[in-house]
Each structure stands twice: as structure tokens, then as C-alpha cells.
Amino acid sequence: MKHVDYVYTVGMTDAELDEFLRLGEHGVLGLADSDDAYAVPLSYHYDGDRLLLRVSGHDDDSEKRGFLETTETATFVVFDASTADSWSIQVRGPVREFESDVEEATLREWFPPFRLFDEAVEAVDFSLFELEMESVVGRRTVE
């Protein structure tokens, strides 16, 4: 194409994938139910072994949970992009509720503050989900 500028990218090494996942806080989770797709921005925590997602519930809103239950393989995308520099990582695998008693203080360390959108604080609750990291691929711009 004549009227398009290009930036070259390369695949990330395992060390780079680990580094960029540790630096990030937010991504987009893609889910599906048959031919119906759903994507939602979420905060995450990555500790080198597992990827945990903080999923909110609002006044018994079950749309997210419905898609979480019907999705066999989810895709979580973490990225940052500017004109000069960019990177992206896709993590794919099954997502399941994380069964563990994590203290509230630890959750505050792991996750950034939650952004409310016209909800009362009392109306929002959270669950943790783990995305099994079956496939992790990333690309970054070439310097």
C-alpha cells in the first residue's frame, strides 16, 4: 500500500514476555458463546507462574459470568502502543475461577484501584479467575 507507514516488529523472547507481563496491570479478555463474542477490559496480576484476573460483578449482572462459563479457550491481550514504540502479548487458554483465600491486603498489592462507572461501591463485588497460560505470544517494535 502506498499511503501507509510501516513499523517492523519481532517476536518476544520468554524473558521479554515475562518482563512485560509483570509490568502491566490491564488488558482485554476475549470470551465467546457459540458465535457471540464478548470482550471486557480487566485488571490482572502475573507472578511468573500464573495470570489472575479480577472480575467484578454489579448488582447480579451475569453477562461476564455467562461468557466465562461458556468459553473453552479465552484470549487475554495486554499491549501498549505509540507511534514510535509498541508491544502486545496474547495469552490463550481456559479460564477458571481461582479457588484460594487471598487476603484483602494482598489483593490491594496485586491489583490497581477499581474504576467505578456509575455504581455504588456496595453494589460491586469481585472474584478472581485464573487464565491457564497454554499459549503466550508477543511482539514488539524493533529498535
Q: What distance separates the 2 farthest-apart alpha carbons in the chain? A: 56
The rounded distance, in Å, linking the Cα atoms of 128 and 28 is 15
Each domain of the chain, given as residue ranges in start order, spans 9-141
- Could you report the per-residue pLDDT of 98-129, keeping only the tens digit for each? 988 888 888 889 988 887 777 777 777 788 99
* Second CATH level (architecture) for the domain 9-141: Roll (2.30)
Nearest to 86 by CA among 29, 6, 22, 30: 6
DSSP symbols for 28-79: EEEEEETTEEEEEEEEEEE-SS-EEEEEEEETT--HHHHHHHH-SSEEEEEE
Q: pLDDT band for position 53 (50/70/90)?
A: very high
> Given a cut of 60, is residue 134 above it in pLDDT?
yes
The average pLDDT across 71-81 equals 96
